[in-house]
């Protein structure tokens, strides 16, 4: 996945309303009206958030007559998870080396 | 267990890990250059400390070497105290980028300490590049080794 696509996903999730939408869509698809309900925002503002999520590939809407439910593209979040997981493994390896250094310090200067 | 979190609101990476050591020992492992050089780099790299003044207001520079290729890193120790280190970090290959790192040593009692690091960069793009660099190193280190690491890292 190109870095700019990942940046779009990160940016799309940088907004608390959009994160909340994603969390709700992870439970079930929803229409725009259903999505808008808890936020006290204009439909126009909701569509704006949806457009950001759509452009990042995080959500999609089927073509066809209204109302078209919004669907979470769960797979779109995987590459980010994968990057973080690899980064985590690298940190885990570093800290295992630190474990060994700390263990040797214990032997030299018992607590 | 090492946990990593990429903050969705600000370009920060957080890492947390518990150690069988006191806060004082962890502080020493981060401020004593000989100890630091033994654990900071990937296994495939050798770390050479070029300059080291681990005091509030001091600075550091070290070089990681692999097959003749050198990767230099430098920064300033903004503040060092028993429970916290605040420092900057720059990879010489990207001299315009600076990470602001805060390391916290939380005493858990019973000779255990939680190390929490927080790295702030200037933009989400830069943070993504850091996350990606973690991926590239991971690939270099080899899949078998990663597997072993995953199973071993159960502390």
Query: Which one is predicted more confidently, B147 or B29?
Result: B29
B44 touches chain A (CB under 8 A): no
Q: What would the two tokens of residue B41 be?
A: 């780099």
- The DSSP H or E segment spanning B25 is helix B23-31
Domain ranges of chain B: 3-151
**CA distance, residue A3 to nearest chain B CA (Å):** 7
Q: What would the two tokens of residue B142 be?
A: 């080899």
- The DSSP H or E segment spanning B43 is none
Mean pLDDT on A15-40: 88
What's the pLDDT at B58? 98
User: H-type helices in chain A, by residue range?
Assistant: 3-12, 16-25, 32-36, 43-55, 78-108
**For chain B, what percent of residues have pLDDT higher than 90?**
59
DSSP B21: S
What's the pLDDT at B80? 98
Give the separation between CA A80 and CA A6, rounded to whole angstroms.
7
CATH topology of domain B3-151: Alpha-D-Glucose-1,6-Bisphosphate; Chain A, domain 4 (3.30.530)
Q: Identify all chain A residues contacting B145, using CB atoms and an 8 Å cutoff.
A: 93
Query: Which one is predicted more confidently, B72 or B143?
Result: B72
Are A96 and B18 in contact by the 8 Å Cβ rule? The answer is no
Query: Which one is predicted more confidently, B130 or B21?
Result: B21
Of B39, B15, B13, nearest to B26 by C-alpha is: B39
Q: What would the two tokens of residue A9 be?
A: 């996903």
Q: How many residue pairs from chains A and B have C-beta atoms closer than 8 A?
A: 118
Q: Identify all chain A residues contacting B132, using CB atoms and an 8 Å cutoff.
A: 3, 6, 83
For chain B positions 71-130, those within 8 Å of chain A (CB to CB) are 111, 115, 124-125, 127-130
Mean pLDDT on B2-20: 90
Mean pLDDT on B61-88: 94
Mean pLDDT on B10-39: 93
pLDDT band at B17 (very low <50, low <70, confident <90, very high): very high
Are A1 and A76 in contact by the 8 Å Cβ rule? The answer is no
What's the pLDDT at A110? 55
Q: Identify all chain B residues contacting A13, using CB atoms and an 8 Å cutoff.
A: 8
Of B5, B52, B79, B76, nearest to A91 by C-alpha is: B5
What's the pLDDT at B23? 95
Is 50 exceeded by the pLDDT of residue A88? yes
- Number of Cβ atoms within 10 Å of the Cβ of B129: 16
Q: Is there a contact between B4 and A95 if contact means CB atoms under 8 Å apart?
A: no
Are B52 and B146 in contact by the 8 Å Cβ rule? The answer is no
What's the pLDDT at B72? 92
Mind listing the pLDDT tens digit for each residue in A50-63?
Answer: 999 999 999 998 87
Is 50 exceeded by the pLDDT of residue B42? yes
Q: What would the two tokens of residue B65 be?
A: 């070497």
Burial of B112 (0-12, 13-18, 19+ CB in 10 A): middle
């Amino acid at each position: 996945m190109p870095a700019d696509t990942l940046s779009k996903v990160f940016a799309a999730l940088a907004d608390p309303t959009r994160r909340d939408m994603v969390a709700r869509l992870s439970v079930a698809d929803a229409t725009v009206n259903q999505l808008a309900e808890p936020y006290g925002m204009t439909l126009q503002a909701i569509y704006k958030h949806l457009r950001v999520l759509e452009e990042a590939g995080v959500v999609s809407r089927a073509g066809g007559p209204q109302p078209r439910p919004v669907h979470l593209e769960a797979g779109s979040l995987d590459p980010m998870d994968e990057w973080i997981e690899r980064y985590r493994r690298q940190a885990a390896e570093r800290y295992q080396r630190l474990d060994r250094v700390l263990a040797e310090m214990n032997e030299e200067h018992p607590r | 267990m090492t946990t990593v979190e990429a903050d969705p609101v600000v370009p920060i990476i957080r890492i947390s890990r518990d150690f069988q050591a006191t806060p004082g020992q962890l502080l020493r492992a981060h401020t004593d250059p000989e100890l630091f050089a033994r654990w900071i780099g990937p296994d495939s790299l050798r770390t050479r400390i070029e300059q080291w003044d681990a005091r509030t207001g001091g600075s550091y520079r070290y070089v990681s070497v692999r097959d003749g290729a050198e990767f230099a890193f430098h920064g300033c120790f903004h503040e060092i105290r028993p429970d916290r280190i605040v420092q900057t970090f720059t990879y010489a290959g990207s001299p315009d980028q600076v990470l602001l790192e805060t390391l916290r040593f939380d005493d858990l009692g019973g000779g255990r300490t939680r190390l929490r690091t927080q790295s702030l960069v200037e933009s989400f793009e830069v943070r993504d590049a850091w996350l990606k660099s973690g991926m590239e190193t991971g690939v270099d280190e080899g899949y078998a080794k990663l597997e072993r690491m995953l199973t071993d890292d159960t502390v």
